[in-house]
Structure 1
């Protein structure tokens, strides 16, 4: 494994304030959040693959809107078929039981990602795609970072990534990591570095102090160091795509 499976830390955090500017429509039968840049262009796009809190989480929608504000058509499918994990779940909720019984497995998630990419490159008129994966979504960025599908990938605090999936990427990959993260701890980060160093693709790993797993989505932005790390991780993704998607 290049990262560990999800745990309780994947379900806790702070809900952010704001009003989503995008809209929810469908690609096939899958609810999908769309957020358009000011000029409504769909040429350059970002496919956002969420953490286990899912599509309807305001933090995820605000992130999609931020990508749109930076000139990218943002597309975010529901990977959990309407059954995500509630943030800060009530006492008694068992994340491991949810993983075993309710979490969609690869044979369910891969077709959603494939269908979304097909729709983006077809009817939606997208020419170049950068893929973003937070926690759970990081696995699927790696799985689909292939020539002809996705131009570049970015993931923050990834989970469930197999070493073979990371070894199989065919495009540039950027990673944001937390100082304290039992899902993507230092040994897994170093393992990932060793794997990436053997590949003939550009790669980047940025490590942020004073934050924990989930910081790029669920940080307490009332705390200056967490706010800085969240914003810097987002800009890391934008700069990566500006280099490897817009200018590729």
Structure 2
């Protein structure tokens, strides 16, 4: 495995301040999502992002991050992977593995058999909305599903502090991948980073791994904005993602158009 299964650190963190500017929508099969659209003057025509969230799902922080991607010119779709049953934030004693395998109600599993079709619906929605080049940003739990779905139309990926990623999944990517990692992370520790690096070299795809000191798992979404080192790492991880997408989606599209 290229990263470990989720743990308690995947559901802890800080709520960020702000008012989401996008809108909640329903796509095919009744899947709930949040759609952030860029200002017309900044929009990258035909380029969009699938935002695959952590286990907190479509919430304040993920919506604000989607809005930030939109301000950078990207149509951004955040998927509800959990059928209205996200993990609670900062709930002491939360049975994470029970929630993953059975859901809160006992009959709503959050396993790949149920989540893969949601990812495919999100990709389909973007395509039908006029997006011809699809990038994907995956956070924690969501990173696995970015990496799994290159074969279904994701051309370029960014993931932060990934969890649950199988070595075989990482080895099968067919496009560029950027990773933002935390210095302290039992889910994506040193040995898993090094294993992932070896696998990425073998893929022959463009890759990048940035390591941020002084922060822990979840920093790019749930870090404390009042702590300087955490705020800096969160902002720089977002900048890392934007520059990666600009280079591998926007610039590539413009280059292809000139050919």
Could you say which TM-score interval applies, normalised by the shorter chain? over 0.9
**2:14 counterpart of 1:8:** no
Which SS does the other structure have where 2:15 is aligned? coil
Per-residue deviation, residues 108-161 of structure 1 (Å, max 9, x unmatched): 111111111112112x01111110000010000100123x60120000000000
Residue pairs, 1:30-109, within 5 angstroms: 30-39=31-40, 41=43, 43-55=46-58, 57-89=59-91, 91-102=92-103, 103-109=109-115
Q: Tell me the TM-score normalised to structure 1 length.
A: 0.96
Q: Return the alpha-carbon distance in structure 1 between the equivalents of residues 48 and 210 of structure 2.
A: 23
Which SS does the other structure have where 1:141 is aligned? helix
**Alignment correspondent of 1:213:** 217
Q: How big is the shift at 1:246?
A: 0.5
**2:178 counterpart of 1:177:** no
Q: Tell me the TM-score normalised to structure 2 length.
A: 0.92
Which segments of 5 or more consecutive residues in structure 1 lack a partner in the other structure? Answer: none
Q: Return the alpha-carbon distance in structure 2 between the equivalents of residues 108 and 236 of structure 1.
A: 30
Q: How big is the shift at 1:97?
A: 2.1
Structure 1 stretches of 4+ with a deviation exceeding 3 A read none
**Alignment correspondent of 2:257:** none
**Alignment correspondent of 1:139:** 144
Q: Which has the higher helix share?
A: 2
Q: Return the alpha-carbon distance in structure 1 between the equivalents of residues 232 and 198 of structure 2.
A: 28
**2:118 counterpart of 1:116:** no
- Between the two proteins, the alignment pairs up a number of residues equal to 244
Which segments of 5 or more consecutive residues in structure 2 lack a partner in the other structure? Answer: 104-108, 253-259
Q: How big is the shift at 1:212?
A: 0.2
